[in-house]
Amino acid sequence: MLVVDDDEGLLILMAEALRAEGYDAVTATSARTAREQLEAHQPDLLILDLKLNDAEGPNLVANIQRGRTAVPFIVVTGQGDEKVAVDVMKQGARDYIMKDTGLLDLLPSVVKRTLAALSQEQALASAQAEHRRLEREILSASERERQSIGADLHDNLGQQLTALELMCTTLKEDIGPQPELARRVDVMCKMLREAIAQTRFLARGLVPVGSEADALQIGLAELAERINSLRRIQCHFVCPAPVTVTDSSVAGHLFRIAQEAVNNAIKHAHATKVTIRLTQTPAQLVLEISDDGTGLAKTRDTKASGIGLGVMKHRASAIGAELTVTSKRNAGVTIRCVLPRPA
């Protein structure tokens, strides 16, 4: 504990009350001394008198906390200074104690309560950090499995189907004048070509982007082309300037967010037009998907759409991005994912 008060007698009594409870209490009689103490060692808790000879109130708190990791603190204030205490609470004070006859009895319990709350907050922050780490690992493992399956489809099944198509073509040449048999072989060749196309489509969906820096931009352009080829809606990809993403995992998550948003627009919003916009500045990368569909009704409980939005938010969180969803009734949905860029 660092206890700061310019009343030396009261300062000694407060420090002794804390030491009696097993706390290590260090004292300071001025704001200047307190700043020196804070520069040397950061305490677990600061107990601060609001009125010192060389500083007072909110200005003192702001000055002490400026330019360093914030130190949790409680304030000690005299009668009539309740408004000042409230102002300091708004600056982050954990609690305040009045300077009256019950101060020394109340101080240890307030300190104990404050430290317990700080401990719970730290445990919660640690648990949340671990939760985010596990989420990233799960998503990464999922992407690796997808890529493995996609590679198997492309390299193994796709190659075998291509070989079978070539064998069918050769067989047709060897059949000779047997029209019925030739017709059946033609049907087999057509089915094999369709199976090859479907296999490549699936493989491309499982491995959406490569490891190149411009893979995300290329992948989103190809996504728009595939959607347009279905002739169900118009999908436009807008990228005013080249965008590079050097981390293939980040690129993969951003692509999945766009893919899920487009699928939601088609399946649930009954959109006729979707726009995928990708831009970047030195400070951030922005991926935005907007449609002209029916929007998200407040009372709608469509499970598939809810799961899709949840997955998008998880993906954004895993890469340190912020995802927002803006919906207007019968005016479409805009999904915006903002990823800060490292300096």
Sequential DSSP letters for 37-50? HHHH---S-EEEES
Chain CA centroid to CA 166, Å:
48
Of the listed ranges 244-258, 291-305, 311-325, the least confidently predicted one is 291-305
Whether 127 maps to a domain, the answer reads no
Residue 74 near residue 96 (C-beta atoms within 8 A): yes
> Is the model more confident about 331 or about 130?
130
317 and 255 in one domain?
Answer: yes
Q: Residue 85: inside a domain, yes or no?
A: yes
* 226 in the same domain as 336: yes
Q: Give me the residues paired with residue 322 across strands.
A: 338
Secondary structure element (H or E) that encloses residue 288, with its range: strand 284-291
Contact at 8 Å (CB) between 257 and 334? Answer: no
Which segment, 48-57, 117-126, 207-216, 289-298, is predicted with the most confidence on average?
117-126
**Does any domain span residue 116?**
no
DSSP per residue, 104-154:
HHHHHHHHHHHHHHHHHHHHHHHHHHHHHHHHHHHHHHHHHHHHHHHHHII
Residue 113 covered by a domain: no
Q: Calculate the average pLDDT of the chain.
A: 83
Indicate if 15 and 78 belong to the same structural domain. yes
pLDDT at residue 154 greater than cutoff 80: no
Non-local CB neighbours of 90 within 8 Å, separated by 6+ positions: none
Three-state secondary-structure class, residue 91: coil
Q: Which domain holds residue 201?
A: 137-206
> Quick one: average pLDDT of 198-217?
73
Domain co-membership, 195 together with 220: no
What pLDDT score was predicted for residue 303?
A: 45
pLDDT band with cut points at 50, 70 and 90 for residue 27: very high
Tell me the three state secondary structure of residue 281. coil
CATH number at residue 78: 3.40.50.2300
For the cut 80, the answer to whether the pLDDT of residue 240 exceeds it is yes
DSSP 156: I
| DSSP conformation class of 64 | H
pLDDT at position 304: 44
The answer to pTM > 0.75 is no
How many folded domains does the chain comprise? 3
Q: What is the pLDDT of residue 116?
A: 93
Most confident of 21-25, 54-58, 178-182, 231-235: 21-25
By mean pLDDT, which of 46-60, 173-187, 252-266, 282-296 is the weakest? 46-60
In a domain, 121, yes or no: no
